[in-house]
A and B are shown apart, each in its own frame.
Chain A
Amino acid sequence: MQYKSQAVAKPYFIAAIGLFIGQIIFGLIMGMQYVVGDFLFPEIPFNVARMVHTNLLIVWLLFGFMGAAYYMVPEESETELYSPKLAIALFWVFLAAGALTILGYLFVPYATLAQMTGNDLLATMGREFLEQPLPTKLGIVVVALAFLFNITMTVLKGRKTAISTVLLLGLWGLAIFFLFSFYNPHNLVKDKYYWWWVVHLWVEGVWELILGALLAFVLIKVTGVDREVIEKWLYVIITLTLVTGIIGTGHHYYWIGAPDYWQWWGSIFSALEPIPFFAMTVFAFNMVNRRRREHPNKAAVLWALGTGVMAFLGAGVWGFLHTLAPVNYYTHGSQITAAHGHMAFYGAYVMVVLTLISYAMPILRGRAANSNKAQVFEMWSFWLMTVAMVFITLFLTAAGILQVWLQRVSDTPMSFMATQDQVALFYWMREWAGVMFFIGLVVYVISFFIKGETRAVTQ
């Protein structure tokens, strides 16, 4: 590695992978609970498993983003990190806060947890994805601000590049929009309205900037294509992202009590959201085709290309499927949403973090790339996880279509629970695909322990 302080990224990446494993285990538990309702009851109720599954995802992605930033920014800025010590201290604070929160979810009834953590002082809990107790939310803000201070100071004292600017914009946006998690108006319409400012403006706004910056960084490194060319693509992509994504928030405002015009605004702008993702795919393949060097880390290139394709399919195509108001009228909150959520998060954010880990981890461990044997393992894990995710998405989509038909379109609509019984077969198939995903993840972890001949760092 070029700068000593980049090493602080390593514990972040390791923690990310550790929490990723936890996320998938809870995913499997929940998947089972869909078909065997009392599985692990009362120890792990469904709502708790779901909370742990989604919260772990968010937390490990944040670990991944922070690790990525700590790795990338010194190299982009051509200077050591402003304070490596602060970065390590924040790591332990964030890990402890995250672990305590998950343990709280698992071992304390949620209402008691809310009482214990001062939810009566400022009620912020009980909302999907923002379930964290108040001290955790405050902790996230403190960690995020200190992290941003560290990163921003590094950028300010060093070289300024388009990649670090876009990354900073994304990370600052992430912190700023999280502040809306503290705003919890009594009016349910307003509550939902601003809840999306965290949820939507994260994943369909500022996170996409982070995604673009990470992908651009790895592509510069593995292809050797001119920075100028890659940065221009990055600008085009993030502009398209913001133009479509910000007003695209409207596709969540159709049925919550917001004014009618959101049905038009939301439909039109969010229908265009696949464009930046498509541009990203074209970008990744274009750059790899025009590569000026054969980077020894083939696995990282595979992850980078995979990110482009899967983000386009999961976020772009599967998002478009149910984004138009007349379609969403029927599909809202069905398994089609779950199908989209799974592939979008995997394709866009999981894969881009794994791309960066794949590229950076060997260098952090003192080699340009892992041994051939280790890379073969990693590439197997890529295909196992990716194909499994395609199956999960297809089975959930099938479940969703059947659900919408039986429950909402049919002349003799069935109740929610009666419908769930009818789609159980697809839930079983999804669970098996989940097992395949978990096997892929195990292979991924094993790949870190495979030895073999490696090349020394060349740069």
Chain B
Amino acid sequence: MTSHALTVPNSTGPRLAGDLAIWFFIMAELLAFAVFFAAYAFTRAAHVEEFNLAQQALNRNAGAINTLLLLTGSAFVVRAVQGALAGESRRAAPWMLAAIASGVAFLVVKMVEYSAAFDHGVSLSSSTFDMFYLSLTFFHFMHVILGLVILGALWLGLRAGRYGPHNMNGLESGAAYWHMVDLLWLILFPLVYVIH
């Protein structure tokens, strides 16, 4: 941590990975999703049959593939961070590129899934379940795009050799954001696609 952080770091305590500012942001994002998840859960409780029926129409295979893609992407990000921490910023760059490829693949799978759903008449107004399905997944979809922009910036930084054991703040902050995107999917997928 450098003077870039929001508060003066405690030199004796455990080190916070990433900037405090990104953690504020992540907390706010998690809160937004938590409210959305809770709204889904309470609405489902009142319409269990209807939700179970509508859930059958979802493409669980696409969801499972996407789960794998995001988990793999997160693992690649971890490798990239570890590489930079070991002082091998440039050699870590391909790991980041692999993570970006996983993220892009997620978007492709998601778009194929959306396209099929739209063909079946799924829309924000077709049913309450569809409204939640589209809202939650699309809100997450937008986060994946933002996460990819961040990973792209980190990739360029790694290639330029910007990160190292003494300059991890930016890299760890961006990585933390990506892990959040991943974490949210790990809740979203079972909640909307699987549990019935």
Question: What sequence of 0s and 1s flags, for each residue 244-279 of chain A, a beta carbon within 8 Å of any chain B beta carbon?
Answer: 100000000000000111001101110110010001
Q: A240 within 8 Å of B by Cβ?
A: yes
Q: Is the CB of A272 within 8 A of B35?
A: yes
Q: Is the CB of B24 within 8 A of A272?
A: no
Shortest CB distance A257–B (Å):
13
Q: Which A residues, 101 to 119, have Cβ-Cβ distances below 8 Å to chain B?
A: none
Q: A233 within 8 Å of B by Cβ?
A: yes
Selected interface stretch from B25-33, B73-81, B105-113, B153-161: B25-33
Assembled-state Cα–Cα distance A233/B25 (Å): 11
User: Closest residue to A271 on the B side, CB-wise?
Assistant: B35
List of B residues within 8 angstroms of A236 by Cβ: 21, 24-25
Q: Is the CB of A264 within 8 A of B6?
A: no
Partner of A243, one of B6, B28, B36, B131: B28
List of B residues within 8 angstroms of A279 by Cβ: 24
List of A residues within 8 angstroms of B29 by Cβ: 243
Q: Is the CB of B25 within 8 A of A269?
A: no
List of A residues within 8 angstroms of B149 by Cβ: none
Question: What sequence of 0s and 1s flags, for each residue 35-62 of chain B, a beta carbon within 8 Å of any chain A beta carbon?
Answer: 1100100000000000000000000000
Q: B10 within 8 Å of A by Cβ?
A: no
List of B residues within 8 angstroms of A232 by Cβ: 4, 6, 19, 21
Asked whether A269 and B6 contact (CB < 8 A) given A232-B21, A236-B21, A261-B125, the answer is no
Asked whether A259 and B124 contact (CB < 8 A) given A229-B6, A235-B21, A271-B35, the answer is yes
User: Closest residue to A229 on the B side, CB-wise?
Assistant: B6
Q: B135 within 8 Å of A by Cβ?
A: yes
List of A residues within 8 angstroms of B21 by Cβ: 232-233, 235-236
Q: Which A residues, 133 to 177, have Cβ-Cβ distances below 8 Å to chain B?
A: none
Q: Is the CB of A259 within 8 A of B4?
A: no
Shortest CB distance A152–B (Å):
26
User: Closest residue to B40 on the A side, CB-wise?
Assistant: A264
Q: B3 within 8 Å of A by Cβ?
A: yes
Partner of A261, one of B4, B19, B25, B131: B131
Shortest CB distance B89–A (Å):
23
Shortest CB distance A189–B (Å):
14
Q: A83 within 8 Å of B by Cβ?
A: no
Q: Is the CB of A228 within 8 A of B3?
A: yes
Shortest CB distance B157–A (Å):
18
Assembled-state Cα–Cα distance A208/B134 (Å): 29
Assembled-state Cα–Cα distance A233/B31 (Å): 19
Among A240, A267, A268, A272, which residue has the most Cβ atoms of chain B within 10 A? Answer: A268
Q: Is the CB of A264 within 8 A of B28?
A: no
Partner of B125, one of A239, A260, A269, A272: A260
Q: Is the CB of A264 within 8 A of B32?
A: no
Q: A128 within 8 Å of B by Cβ?
A: no
User: Closest residue to A263 on the B side, CB-wise?
Assistant: B131
Among B3, B6, B31, B125, which residue has the most Cβ atoms of chain A within 10 A? Answer: B6
Question: What sequence of 0s and 1s flags, for each residue 13-27 of chain B, a beta carbon within 8 Å of any chain A beta carbon?
Answer: 000000101001100
Question: What sequence of 0s and 1s flags, for each residue 218-236 of chain A, a beta carbon within 8 Å of any chain B beta carbon?
Answer: 0000000010110011011
Assembled-state Cα–Cα distance A382/B117 (Å): 57
Asked whether A264 and B35 contact (CB < 8 A) given A229-B6, A232-B4, A240-B28, the answer is no
Assembled-state Cα–Cα distance A37/B98 (Å): 72
Partner of A272, one of B4, B32, B132: B32
Assembled-state Cα–Cα distance A259/B134 (Å): 14
Partner of B4, one of A228, A244, A271: A228
7 residue pairs A–B, Cβ–Cβ below 8 Å:
A228-B3, A240-B25, A261-B135, A265-B135, A267-B39, A269-B32, A272-B32
Q: A268-B36, A279-B24 known; 12 other A-B pairs, CB under 8 Å?
A: A226-B3, A232-B21, A233-B21, A236-B24, A240-B25, A244-B32, A260-B125, A264-B132, A267-B39, A268-B32, A271-B35, A272-B32
What is A's interface to B at a CB cutoff of 8 Å? 226, 228-229, 232-233, 235-236, 239-240, 243-244, 259-261, 264-265, 267-269, 271-272, 275, 279
What is B's interface to A at a CB cutoff of 8 Å? 3-4, 6, 19, 21, 24-25, 28-29, 31-32, 35-36, 39, 124-125, 131-132, 135
